[in-house]
Structures are given as C-alpha cells and as structure tokens.
Structure 1
Amino acid sequence: MRVAIMTDETGWHTRQLQAALRQRGAQGRCVDLADCHIDTTAAWHGLQIPGFGRGLPDAVLVRGIAGGSFEQVTRRLGVLHALRELGVPVYNDARAIERSVDKSMTSLLLHAAGVSAPPTWALEDVALARRIVLREMAAGHALVLKPLFGSQGKGLVLIGDPARHGPQARPALPPLESGYGRLAYLQRFIPPQAEPGHDWRVMVVGGRAIAAMRRISAHWVHNVAQGARCEAAALTPALALLAEQAAAALQMDYAGVDIMPGPAGAAGGPDALQVLEVNGVAAWQGLQRVTPFPIARALVDDLLDRRCAGLATASPVQRCA
C-alpha cells in the first residue's frame, strides 16, 4: 500500500503517521497539495501527484492544507475531490474538510442533527449583527466573534459587558473589514464554570471516541496555540457520545471535537455539554502527550482496515465507478 500523506509541512505528525504505516507494511509519502497538478495530457486520470509517477496513491490521508488565495485553495480541494471520484479513499475527504473549515456550515449541520452547541449566527448584514449583539447583551449574554475560516484560537473577540464578562470583553462589534471578510460569525459565550476555565478535546476515529484531554487556561480561549496547558481527562460516556454525534453530523472519518462544560455546570449530564468546534484536520500532539493511546496507529488502522477494505482486489475501472 502506498499512501499519500497530504501536508504542507513535515514534522512530528507526519513522522508518527509514517511509522504507523510502516508497522502495517505500508509506505507513507508526504505530498503538498500545492505541488499536485491537473494535467489531462499526463495520464488517463488527469492528475500528477508527486512521487507517484503516472499512477495514483492507493489511499490519501489528509494532514494539512496550506492557506492561499480562494482560487488556490479551491484547486487543492479539487484535487482531493478528483481523487475520491477516481476511487481513491481520501481520509478525511474534501467534503468533510469543507464542512469543518466553514464554521457556519459546521454550526448548521450540528443544529440540524440535534447536537448540543451554543446559539450561533452567521450573517453579512452588519446592522443586523449589531442588533443581535445588543439583544444578547441585554439578556446578559456575551458573544464570541470568530473568523469564519480561522483556527488555533486566532482572531477571536469577546463582545460583552466588561463589568460582567471581564476586562477582555469589548462593548461593541468591531469592524468586520479586516480579518473577518465582512461577515459576522457570532457564537454565544459560555462563561467558565471554574477558575481556571477549561474545555475538552476529544478525538474521534472511525465513528468512535478514542481519547480525551482537558485544555486549561486562565484566558477564555483554551487553544494550546494560545497558551493553554493539557492534562489527561477521563473519556466519560457523555463526552464520547457528544463527540461521536458531532463527527457523524459532519460525516468525518476522524475529528478533533472541542467541547465546553455548559451553563448547567461541568458535572451535569449530556445537556450540560456544548460542542464549540469540529476539526477535520485535527492535530493530536498535545493529546498524545497525556494519553498512552497510540493515536496515529488508530488513524492508520481505521484507514487501512475500514476505508481500504477490498481495495487490493479492485481494478482501476471498479475504483472509478
């Protein structure tokens, strides 16, 4: 088995995946989607994937997609779409990644599936967004403004009453021209239930929650990239169920699901937990530090045993059907 690991940077994660693939007798080659081409003169399938000659990889594991212009990102995702249509298992495929990268689509799909999540608004009407902020503040709620395509806790702004929600809160909606694409993606703020506050990152692989950690921070943003520290956490039935429901709602092979203790308190039942985000290209280095569960091996096993089952006996025509 020759597996393309799609990534814009090599490092700890790609080494973990390559080692896990070797343990299964497979080969993992790192490929940047920016280096993949559409060339209808080069091969019957019309793609050029570096390191695979005129052929195609047996499977693709998506670890990272570099940012770029709208056109560049569209073409890179187009390569993943094409690989899927050509019968190559793509893990996660472009459709799942698109659902998770677009936070508004994530919120909509979670809501449609009945998955517990904070009230959310995504709109281009700035006047209406300001009215929503005022209405929520009048009801005692703060809001979090997020970039629609943001990650790692960057660009988050807490909007609320500084006297009630802390000195980090801003009393009004900031300009949306810079960093937000003239679009307001607003989510009701969940105040911390303890000091310091925390959330959970739960890893779901093949529809099953496999490991969890708590991310603890004195700041209201709990991303590790923003200084939160990780500690081991029990994967309770309530956490596992909610994370699995979130991954299923977005039809993901694997996902990192961020969950907050809701207003009812951290000790409450499933209704007390709220899904904040679902990550379709989830990092797991912080989680691996606090759990003995071999996460890379779980990803590779699920890819090879579930997604690639029967692949060895399928002809190229069957794989393209």
Structure 2
Amino acid sequence: MAKVFMFYSRLRAEEKMIIEAAKAREIPLESIVVSDLVWPNDICQRKDVALCRCIGHRQNLALALTLEAKGVTTINPSNVMNICSDKIATSSKLSIAGIPQPDYAVAFSLEGTLKCVEKMGYPVVLKPPVGSWGRLLAKVNDKDALEAVVEHKLHLGSQHSAIYIQKYVDKNGFDIRATIIGDSPVSAIRRCSNHWITNTARGGEAQNYPLTDELKKLLVDVQRAIGGKLLAVDVFETHNGYLVNEVNGQPEFRSSQERITGVDVAGKIVEMAWTLAQKSDENDF
C-alpha cells in the first residue's frame, strides 16, 4: 500500500499544520527529519508520495531527485523545483505561455545592464536569479545606483553573474499571494506594507483577497505552464490587469491559513497527497 511521507529540515509552523491536518483526517502521514539520513535509502518505495519540505532548495532538489529515481512521486517534482527556484527560468516559462508579467531582461555585464535599463526606463528592480524571502533585492532609481549595485553583484561570484532586471511596478502598497493545490487555486491574500517589498517574511501584513474568475483563470494558466501540485504565485494588480511576479514551488503558507482566508491549506495539501497515493495503488491493479 502506498504511503505519504513528509521530509523536512526544520519543523516550521507549516509542517506542524500538515501533521495536525493528517491526524484530524486520519490520513497516515510519516514525517521525517532529513538531517540524520543518507540518500538514497529504503524509507520510501515505488508508488509512495513524498512532500519535500526542506527549507533550502539544494536539499529539496537532492531529496526529490533521489526519491524520483526510485519511482516515488514528489511534491513538487524536481523539474518544477528547478523552474521555480530560478527567476530567469520562471520568467522564460511564463513568456512561452504568454502569461502577463512585468517587463524583464537578463544581462551579463555592467555595459549590457546599462543599455537594457536605458531602454526599459527607471526605476528597475534587480533580483538574484536564485533567492527567496525578498532578500538581496534592489530598487534602482538612477544610473549611479545601478552601476554600484551591478559592480557589487559581478564580484559576488557565479551565482550573481547573470543580472536579472525587472521593470519596477507600483503596486499601491500590496501584492497578491495565491496558492494552488493540485490543479486548482484555493486561496489568495493581499500582502500589505508601506515598504515596496511586501513579503510577509519582511513584515508585510496578510489580508484575505477574493479569488475572482479573472484571477483563477490566470492561476490555472500558470499551473499549466509551470507544472507541479503545490504552487504559490505572487501577482501584481495593475490598471491593465494582473501581472505574475514570481512562482514559488515550496511555499510557506501560514499567512494563507484559515484565520486569514477561511481555507484549510494544510488540510488540502494532505488530502491532495493522499489522493495521489491512492491513485498510485489503484494503477497497480
């Protein structure tokens, strides 16, 4: 019989919610901390389903790859983790699918960056291609600041050698964080802040946001373009419609839980994983 596992590096609020949700539904879930184990191992077998909940992308990716080699279904799959962990890969996938997003470009030198921003226009936001929690972002308003930031980035090593440039969008003090579980959008929140970075990890306040038909359609398009069974999509609301800012493949969701949205996100995650495990069993007959 297929099982559901949850692997984690630190027991955060989200992992505790998943464990409690499984208990409440009497869904067998085995939660295991990864730090004392070596991979691959005999914990999971073919047909099992694994929630990969490590904090770091590198650990999650290594975990998913070793599990997938044994036929285990991982949430999310390693290819989706790779797309979501890299803003250049994410933007490229969104572009291919024709999904609206802020203007962006990639440069490989100071000269290239200057030419790009002259054409794009100030202000712009420079982001590390790989990063989370709103860290190492820089809103750049003029040429002097751009030169300084890019010079720093180019001396920080290979991880910063590709400069990801995004046109700054005035989001009127908030953005939207929407959660997709399985193939369906389940909740959305406004993340409000007086600062231009509105991540809740940086102090943004969470408020419920309605899942309109327009927003649902956009989110379904994102899920089809990116893949995966658990996504958090960051969206800007503008006068010309919604713009997709980023897609997270290993989301924290404490701010999207019932007390804000009325939706039991942890419960829906557990139910989705258990449904996948049961389907895996049925396909063996």
* TM over 0.5, shorter chain: yes
Equivalent position to 1:187, from 166, 171, 174:
166
Partner of 1:178: 156
Partner of 1:294: 264
Partner of 2:129: 148
**Is 1:255 matched with 2:224?**
no
The AA in structure 2 aligned to 1:103 is: K
- CA distance in 2 between counterparts of 1:35 and 1:248 reads 36
- CA distance in 2 between counterparts of 1:294 and 1:189 reads 33
Partner of 2:245: 276
CA contact (8 A) 1:256 1:280 kept: yes
CA contact (8 A) 2:127 2:137 kept: yes
Q: 1:29 Cα shift?
A: 3.0
**Is 1:312 matched with 2:281?**
yes
Corresponding residue SS for 1:37 = coil
Equivalent position to 1:158, from 114, 139, 143:
139
Which string of whole-angstrom CA distances, capped at 9 and with x for unpartnered residues, describes residues 134-153 of structure 1? Answer: 2223xxx4211011111011
**Is 1:95 matched with 2:95?**
no
User: Which structure has the larger Rg?
Assistant: 1
Partner of 2:200: 224
Q: With the length of structure 1 as denominator, give the TM-score of the two structures.
A: 0.79
- CA distance in 2 between counterparts of 1:4 and 1:304 reads 10
Partner of 1:241: 217
The AA in structure 2 aligned to 1:178 is: L
Identity %: 23
Distance 1:172 1:218, change over 3 A: farther
- CA distance in 2 between counterparts of 1:235 and 1:32 reads 35
Question: Where does structure 2 lack aligned partners over 5 or more consecutive residues?
Answer: none
- CA distance in 1 between counterparts of 2:114 and 2:255 reads 37
Corresponding residue SS for 1:110 = helix
CA contact (8 A) 2:3 2:277 kept: no
Q: 1:2 Cα shift?
A: 3.6
- CA distance in 2 between counterparts of 1:82 and 1:248 reads 25
Say what the alpha-carbon RMSD is for the aligned residues: 2.5
Q: 1:298 Cα shift?
A: 0.8
Corresponding residue SS for 2:139 = strand
CA contact (8 A) 1:160 1:172 kept: no
Equivalent position to 1:48, from 41, 45, 48:
41
Partner of 1:62: 52
Distance 1:246 1:310, change over 3 A: closer
- CA distance in 1 between counterparts of 2:146 and 2:94 reads 29
Equivalent position to 1:111, from 95, 118, 134:
95
Count of residues in Structure 1 that have an aligned counterpart in Structure 2: 279
- CA distance in 2 between counterparts of 1:252 and 1:102 reads 15
Distance 1:170 1:125, change over 3 A: closer
Partner of 1:166: none
Corresponding residue SS for 2:160 = coil
Q: 1:303 Cα shift?
A: 1.6
Partner of 2:183: 207
Q: Equivalences for 1:118-133 in 2 at 5 Å? A: 118-133=102-117
The AA in structure 1 aligned to 2:245 is: L
Equivalent position to 1:303, from 268, 273, 278:
273
Q: 1:88 Cα shift?
A: 1.5
Distance 1:129 1:209, change over 3 A: same
Question: Where does structure 1 lack aligned partners over 5 or more consecutive residues?
Answer: 39-46, 68-72, 163-168
Which string of whole-angstrom CA distances, capped at 9 and with x for unpartnered residues, describes residues 264-303 of structure 1? Answer: x2xx5xxx11000000001110111311111111111112
The AA in structure 1 aligned to 2:163 is: A
The AA in structure 2 aligned to 1:9 is: R
The AA in structure 2 aligned to 1:60 is: A
CA contact (8 A) 1:130 1:173 kept: no
Q: 1:120 Cα shift?
A: 1.4
- CA distance in 2 between counterparts of 1:277 and 1:182 reads 20
Segment drifting more, 175-184 vs 82-91: 175-184
Which string of whole-angstrom CA distances, capped at 9 and with x for unpartnered residues, describes residues 228-259 of structure 1? Answer: 11111111111111122112211121100000
Q: 1:96 Cα shift?
A: 0.8
